[in-house]
C-alpha cells in the first residue's frame, strides 16, 4: 500500500529512540497517522511543527496498519507564527476540532478550510470569522448541521436574526421577538448580510452560537471539555479590538 498526499501537521508523539508518530490532516485521506523514522532530527523536527503543511508518502504492507511516512516540507508557517499567541491558540483549537473526526475519513472540504485559515493567521482578527465558519462546517461534517438559510417559522430568507438552540435553525427578528431571551443571536456574516459590521460584537455572537452547539453536540457527549485554546483565542481577538 502506498499513497502521496498533502497534509497539515496536527501533532507528533515520540516513538522509539528517534522516531515519532505523526498525525496529519490530509487532503484525500482524512486524519491519518503514520510513523516517521528520524522524526526527532533537527531537520524533521522543524518541519513537523503543528500548522505546517507537508508532502507525505505513506507506505504499509496492509491498509489497516500504522504504516510509515516519508515527509517533505511544503508550507512552513509555524516559524513565522510562533510569536503570535492568538495564532498558536487558533492552531491548537483547529486541531482539537479535527481530532473529533474518525481516522481516515476523507474530508477534503475541511482540509481546504483549515489550510485557508492557517494561511491567514498572520492576521488573527481577519481569520476569526473563518474559524467560526469552520466550526459550523465541523458540526455539519459530524451530523449536526445548522440551518442558517431560512426562518424555521416563516420560511423567509431575509431578516434572519436568531438561531433556535433547540433545533439549530434560523429565525427572523420579527418571528423570534417574543422568544428572543431563549434564542441565540445570529451575526450578519453567518446570515448572508455581508454589509453588517464585522466587529467584536458580531464575532462574540458568532463564537457564542457555534460554542453552544459544539459543547452540546460534539464535546459534551464525548465527555470532553471545550478546548482551552478556543477561549484563549476568542479573548485575544476581542482584546485586539480594545487596543485599536
Please give the pLDDT value at position 40.
84
Distance CA 138, CA 140 (A): 5
Tens digit of pLDDT for each residue in 157-213? 999 999 999 999 999 999 999 999 999 999 999 998 776 778 999 999 999 999 999
Tell me what the pLDDT averaged over the chain comes to.
Answer: 95
Tens digit of pLDDT for each residue in 126-146? 999 999 999 999 999 999 999
Average pLDDT over residues 110-139: 97
Please give the pLDDT value at position 42.
86
Please give the pLDDT value at position 91.
98
Please give the pLDDT value at position 244.
60
Q: Locate cell 483547529: which residue?
A: 94
Average pLDDT over residues 17-30: 94
Please give the pLDDT value at position 198.
86
Distance CA 92, CA 227 (A): 8
| % of the chain residues with pLDDT over 90 | 89
- pTM equals 0.95
Q: Which of 140, 148, 222 is nearest to 183 (CA)?
A: 148
pLDDT band at 242 (very low <50, low <70, confident <90, very high): confident
First to last CA, the chain: 54
Is the per-residue pLDDT at 243 higher than 70?
no
Average pLDDT over residues 149-157: 95
Is the per-residue pLDDT at 72 higher than 70?
yes
Hey, how many other C-beta atoms are within 10 angstroms of the C-beta on 76? 15
Amino acid at each position: 500500500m502506498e499513497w502521496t498526499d498533502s497534509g497539515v501537521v496536527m501533532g507528533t508523539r515520540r516513538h522509539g529512540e528517534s522516531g515519532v508518530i505523526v498525525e496529519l490532516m490530509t487532503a484525500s485521506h482524512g486524519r491519518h497517522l503514520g510513523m516517521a523514522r528520524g522524526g526527532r532530527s533537527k531537520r524533521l523536527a522543524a518541519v513537523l511543527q503543528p500548522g505546517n503543511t507537508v508532502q507525505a508518502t505513506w507506505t504499509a504492507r496492509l491498509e489497516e496498519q500504522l504504516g510509515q511516512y516519508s515527509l517533505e516540507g511544503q508550507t512552513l508557517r509555524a516559524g513565522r507564527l510562533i510569536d503570535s499567541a492568538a495564532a498558536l491558540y487558533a492552531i491548537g483549537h483547529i486541531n482539537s476540532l479535527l481530532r473529533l473526526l474518525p481516522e481516515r475519513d476523507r474530508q477534503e472540504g475541511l482540509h481546504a478550510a483549515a489550510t485557508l485559515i492557517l494561511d491567514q493567521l498572520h492576521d488573527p482578527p481577519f481569520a476569526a470569522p473563518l474559524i467560526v465558519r469552520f466550526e459550523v462546517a465541523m458540526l455539519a461534517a459530524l451530523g449536526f448541521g445548522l440551518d442558517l438559510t431560512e426562518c424555521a417559522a416563516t420560511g423567509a430568507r431575509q431578516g434572519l436574526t436568531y438561531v433556535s438552540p433547540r433545533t439549530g435553525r434560523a429565525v427572523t427578528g420579527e418571528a423570534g421577538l417574543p422568544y428572543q431571551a431563549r434564542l441565540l443571536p445570529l451575526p450578519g456574516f453567518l446570515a448572508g448580510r455581508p454589509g453588517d459590521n464585522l466587529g467584536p460584537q458580531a464575532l462574540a455572537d458568532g463564537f457564542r452560537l457555534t460554542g453552544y452547539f459544539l459543547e452540546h453536540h460534539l464535546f459534551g457527549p464525548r465527555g470532553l471539555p471545550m478546548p482551552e485554546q478556543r477561549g484563549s483565542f476568542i479573548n485575544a481577538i476581542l482584546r485586539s479590538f480594545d487596543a485599536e
